[in-house]
A and B are shown apart, each in its own frame.
Chain A
Amino acid sequence: MSLFSKFDGLRAAHAKLTAAGADPFSVVFEDIVSATEGILHGQRTVLLGTNNYLGLTFDEAGKQASMEAVARHGTGTTGSRIANGSYDGHARLEAELAAFFGRRHGMVFSTGYQANLGILSTLAGKHDHLVIDSDSHASIYDGARLGHAPVVRFRHNDPKDLEKRLARLADEPGEKIIVVEGIYSMLGDSAPLAEICELKRRYGAYLIVDEAHSMGVLGENGRGLAEELGVENDVDFVIGTFSKSLGSVGGFCVSSLEGFETLRIACRPYMFTASLPPAIIASTSRALTIVGEQPELRARLRGNAERLYHGLSAAGFVVGPECSPIVSVIIRDVDKAVAFWNMLLERGLYVNLALPPATPSAAAFLRGSVSASHSEEQIAFAVDVMSEVGRELGLLPSKVTELSARRRDAKDAKEPARPRAAGAGAATA
């Protein structure tokens, strides 16, 4: 027995994965040249797995704001808000976020992960109850576990099952807090929020919605799923991240509930970690303005999402249940999914490889996330190259005979890197 022997199973699974090709957990891009392109092994690679929904990582005004902030305020805050004090920018961004969501209060965290960790673990006390969706993000599970409240989970996106849980808790003392996500990060499906709000009201529970993947994406003003469905009044806390549509790093929570400000002196993942550096605050603030002012980005994003979702579905792939900027191809055979992911990388397309148990089933997902910055050519390239690999792996019906397929495979083995990706990339460079 050694300290690390508890990881033997994990290590064996990882070794098998790396033996099949590149290691999906340690891809290193030599360079990132735009919101949608990186350089990997000297090859231009289309980035289709970055959650960069609005492509704002390379927004000129955002970059400029960051550079000015560094020049004026330095590279970091070197401490927490309670120890070192807040910068003017932190407080201003909190006010901007609260205003954006039409709420009274806002709190900024150093990551979205910490926002969930902090809010869930602090709000739910020992005598309260957390009721979370079974497909929740790791940060929701971890935040729930960090606190002292009992945690029960309901079947993913299943209001009937949620109701059973709430009914069982009805006579228990303590507050009940429901936690759901706007768009779920693995399959891109969204929560049945209207039904959940109705249950929340009926059972007198509180509702937290993590709009990490839906802020900037859904709703006329980009406020997320609650705005899209017109149920914002029933959402007590919105949690979100700066690391997706806002193109930087950080997290937040907004609410209109009285007493919210007390969290600043109770919430440990807020209190005991360094605050975000000025450059991040500056570009995030700029990105938030863009989300509000440029609805055309959302329209472009939606167009790209539809092209990819319907393109892959028409090619014969099994995709998620609804069209969103997260487009996942579901592959039952995990080994084939790993081979698929490697072949895409060789041909200049980067997607996320999600393997069980990170996926909610025994299947693997090739998870794509679309950006408003993707060109139509890049989306078409993604559909083409995924269809091509799908046919080669026998996941899609093949038009070529066994023999010619084998001949082509033999030829490919000699020249693994193809110029196609470079072509598609160059079109947008």
Chain B
Amino acid sequence: MEDVSRDISGEIISVLESVIDKPLDATSEKDLVSDLGMDSIALMNFSMALEDHFDVSIPLDRMAEVETLGDLSDTIENLLRKGK
């Protein structure tokens, strides 16, 4: 069974905080580029940190569709479910 209690969004935010090294006012609607000011390098570092944390590889086309933290959380959840 899928571990429904896992707080993927929360884990994403804590990874993000460790990557940019400061606490964030991050909610799932936040847009990674326009709200959180991430450029392509920051996004790459962030996604690689997430890949390590969740032990998944996020294909580039999936990452390209991600706009908000919520999208990211859905994508990772999908990948984790597929891996089961």
What is the chain A residue whose CB lies nearest that of B52?
A164
Interface contact B41-A362, CB-CB below 8 Å: yes
The reply to whether the CB of A219 lies closer than 8 angstroms to some CB of chain B is: no
- Report the stretch among B18-26, B58-66, B70-78 that lies at the interface: B58-66
Of B39, B57, B58, B83, the residue contacting A357 (CB under 8 A) is: B39
In the bound complex, how far is the Cα of B83 from the Cα of A150, in angstroms?
Answer: 15
> Which A residues are in CB contact (< 8 Å) with B8?
none
Instruction: Report whether over half of chain B's contact residues are helix, strand or loop; otherwise say mixed.
Output: helix
> Which B residues are in CB contact (< 8 Å) with A153?
60
Of B48, B59, B83, the residue contacting A151 (CB under 8 A) is: B59
CB A21 to nearest CB in B, in angstroms, measures: 24
> Which B residues are in CB contact (< 8 Å) with A151?
59-61
Interface contact A360-B41, CB-CB below 8 Å: yes
> Which B residues are in CB contact (< 8 Å) with A164?
52, 55, 57
For chain A, the count of residues having a C-beta within 8 Å of the partner chain is 18
The reply to whether the CB of A305 lies closer than 8 angstroms to some CB of chain B is: no
For chain B, the count of residues having a C-beta within 8 Å of the partner chain is 15
Of B41, B55, B59, B83, the residue contacting A152 (CB under 8 A) is: B59
Of B40, B44, B61, B83, the residue contacting A145 (CB under 8 A) is: B61
Of A145, A155, A168, A169, the residue contacting B60 (CB under 8 A) is: A145
Interface contact B56-A168, CB-CB below 8 Å: yes
> Which A residues are in CB contact (< 8 Å) with B57?
152, 164-165, 168-169
> Which A residues are in CB contact (< 8 Å) with B40?
357
In the bound complex, how far is the Cα of B41 from the Cα of A168, in angstroms?
Answer: 24
In the bound complex, how far is the Cα of B58 from the Cα of A134, in angstroms?
Answer: 13
Within 347-392 of A, Cβ neighbours of B (below 8 Å) are at 356-357, 360-362
> Which B residues are in CB contact (< 8 Å) with A361?
41
Tell me the A residues contacting B by CB distance below 8 Å: 134, 144-145, 150-153, 155, 161, 164-165, 168-169, 356-357, 360-362
List 11 A–B pairs whose Cβ atoms lie within 8 Å, in order of A's numbering: A134-B48, A150-B62, A152-B57, A153-B60, A164-B55, A165-B57, A168-B55, A168-B56, A169-B57, A357-B39, A360-B41
Give me the 4 closest cross-chain CB pairs, A-B, nearest first.
Answer: A150-B59, A152-B57, A151-B60, A357-B40
Given contact pairs A152-B57, A155-B48, a sample of 7 additional A-B residue pairs in the complex whose CB atoms are under 8 Å apart: A150-B62, A164-B52, A168-B57, A356-B39, A357-B41, A360-B41, A361-B41
